[in-house]
Amino acid sequence: MKNPLLNTGELGIFALGGLGEVGKNTYVYEIEDQIFIVDAGILFPDEHLLGIDYVIPDYTYLVENQERIVGLFITHGHEDHIGGIPYLLKKVNIPKIYAAGIAVDLIEYKLIEHQDVKAPKIEEYKSYYKYQFNNVEMSFIRLNHSIPDMFGIVFRTPQGILFHTGDFKVDFTPVGPGAEYDKLAAIGSEGVLCMLSDSTNAERDELIQSDSKIGKSINELFSRIAGRILIATFASNMYRIQQIIEASIMNGRKVAVFGRSMERAIEVGMQTGYIKAPKDTIVSGDDVNRLKAHEITIVVTGSQGEPLAALSRIANGNHRQVKAMAGDTVIFSSSPIPGNQEGINRTINKLFRLDVEVITHGPLADTHTSGHGAQQDLKLMLSLVKPKMFIPMHGEHRMLKHHRELAIDCGVNPENILIMDNGDVAAITDHSIRLAGKVTSGEVYIDGTGIGDIGSTVIKERKMLSEEGLFAVVLSINSTAKKLVNEPTIISRGFIYMKGNEEITQSLANEVKRITQVELNKKMFNELNLKQSVIDQLGNRIFDMTQRKPLVIPIIVDLKV
């Protein structure tokens, strides 16, 4: 079924995730009645999504149009680009997944954890591969990012060339293979109809340092530290892990690894050759306490203050194998993801209480650099590719707006730039771009094993419970005799401490009795009406007395014979 929003000869581009946010990147290209999905990520929830593990996009449109999907194409192996794959596969029939290098291993590991998923074949592409799907040819351009094997995707279509950058930065001295700038210039010379480009650092007018400079900085830091080193970084940052291993070897240290995702990343890195360490460099957790302080580097997860990660457990004093001690130095080789600063500060404060030295990235020590290009990098991309039309992606709304200004500075006609939200469809011909309407989009919450069974109402209730507490009333009635059989039983959790508040409790019990009798005396008694009356009227009374709005739950037992 053709997309009704598109006219004959138009191709469609839209995002189910990744616009107006940093996360759950899922982009859809509709060309020649075929659907190409680029990436399938998750979003890590902020503190207002109580109890939610992950957020994924609403896949309704893909479910309804799955017969037109030719494949899922992965730019790189970060969670905000591959984390949603198992959930997508549970809902949608994907013929094949196309991924490169380390992303293939990371996806395979992910699918092992979800054994209920019937996985399609994963086709491993290289930068020189080309795929033909009817009138559409797909090819790839290697770029640099904070994880190896990041590729931009080129679509050659009847309307013209489309280019999807993926996440990138310009690094002329990268740790791994260099970016293929010659290919960018070549498609720019050929003529690019439309480009979608990473906007994460579009507000930053600064030089994003090369990863190789961070490696030198880490070497220098290690050479000055006498005690144990605990270093936290992103598990996906293979280059940084390799730099930490190299700095440890140069300074006569062994390396121990804690945190499941970090252990898995090192395993994948060694399989793919991105992580190289002489035999016996990496030691088991049991060896940590046998080695002298200056002989060990401990690499841990928890750079974002995650409560259950290894570093948080060390800071809390409840890690099974590692106890922080005076003389230790903890290095954060990462920058805070928006929304995580509070958790990181909590961890740092706990470490200071343990007399631990803490080093974060700053003017005194270069311990981290971003994997996303700042304004100069984004302008270089625009200048090389020279797109006729432009859609900023991968960023919060203000980042997209800033990227729009950069594109105008680089000569893109403002009328050919679209700032979009998830679900907005761009309809493109060889000479025009327009907003064609919306497809179904939204957020689906994952809580434990449940996918999408928690909606905004549940989140609202959880928030209310966390802030205002619970007030439950158990009523035993006889609806035939139209009377209350026993005194109401009142249960308060997180609202008021009932001991010492007998006066309030009794007053509320009397109010419940009054409401119940009024409802029982009605000609047509209805249990649902009684419940609603208790919720509404008692809620108002509680607010008048306490200025609080707990969640009111009436439980009614009808003892009619």
Q: What is the CATH number of the domain that holds 58?
A: 3.60.15.10
pLDDT at 56: 87
Whether residue 260 is predicted with pLDDT greater than 90 in this model: the reply is no
Are residues 551 and 469 in contact, defined by beta-carbon separation less than 8 angstroms?
A: yes
Establish whether 198 is a catalytic residue: yes
Whole-number pLDDT of residue 500: 60
- 3 state SS of 199: coil
Supply the CATH number for residue 546's domain: 3.10.20.580
For residues 61 and 157, membership in a common domain is answered with: yes
Contact (CB, 8 A) for 103 and 269: no
Identify whether residues 394 and 335 lie together within a single domain: no
Q: Please identify, among 328, 359, 390, the residue that sits at the C-terminal boundary of a domain.
A: 359
Asked if residue 376 and residue 308 are part of one domain, the reply reads no
Average model confidence (pLDDT) for the chain? 88
| CB of 424 closer than 8 Å to CB of 438 | yes
Task: For 476-519, write each residue's pLDDT tens digit.
Answer: 888 888 888 888 888 877 676 555 667 777 888 888 888 888 88
Q: Please check whether residue 344 is in contact with residue 232, taking contact to mean a CB–CB distance below 8 angstroms.
A: no
Higher pLDDT, 285 or 341: 285
Mean pLDDT on 245-252 = 93
Quick: pLDDT tens for 113-122: 888 888 999 9
Same-domain check for residues 189 and 251: no
Residue 556's DSSP bridge partners are: 475
Q: Is the pLDDT of residue 460 over 70?
A: no
- Confirm whether 4 is domain-assigned: no
Q: Which of 428, 447, 466 is the last residue of a domain?
A: 447
Same domain, yes or no, for 36 and 176?
Answer: yes
Distance CA 258, CA 248 (A): 16
Domain range enclosing 497: 456-558
| Confidence at residue 307, expressed as pLDDT on a 0 to 100 scale | 76
CATH number at residue 269: 3.40.50.10710
Q: How confident is the model at residue 459 (pLDDT cuts 50, 70, 90)?
A: low
Say how many domains are in the chain. 3
Do residues 25 and 39 make contact, with C-beta atoms less than 8 angstroms apart? Answer: yes
Which one from 76, 78, 81, 372 is the annotated catalytic residue?
A: 372
Do 488 and 513 form a contact (C-beta atoms < 8 A)? yes
User: Are both 404 and 255 inside the same structural domain?
Assistant: no
Secondary structure of residue 260 in the 3-state scheme: helix
Residue 85 and residue 68 share a domain? yes
- Do 310 and 379 lie in one domain? The reply is no
Which SS3 state, helix, strand or coil, does residue 490 take? strand
The answer to whether 80 is a known catalytic residue is no
**Same domain, residue pair 170 and 38:** yes
Q: What is the pLDDT of residue 420?
A: 96
Please give the pLDDT value at position 120: 94
Pair 537, 467 in one domain = yes
Most confident of 94-98, 442-446, 459-463, 479-483: 94-98
Pick the catalytic residue from 149, 167, 198, 424: 198
Read off the pLDDT of each residue in 217-232 and give the average, rounded to a whole number.
Answer: 91
Task: Report the C-alpha gap between 324 and 310 in whole angstroms.
Answer: 12
DSSP single-letter state for residue 285: G
Q: How confident is the model at residue 415 (pLDDT cuts 50, 70, 90)?
A: very high
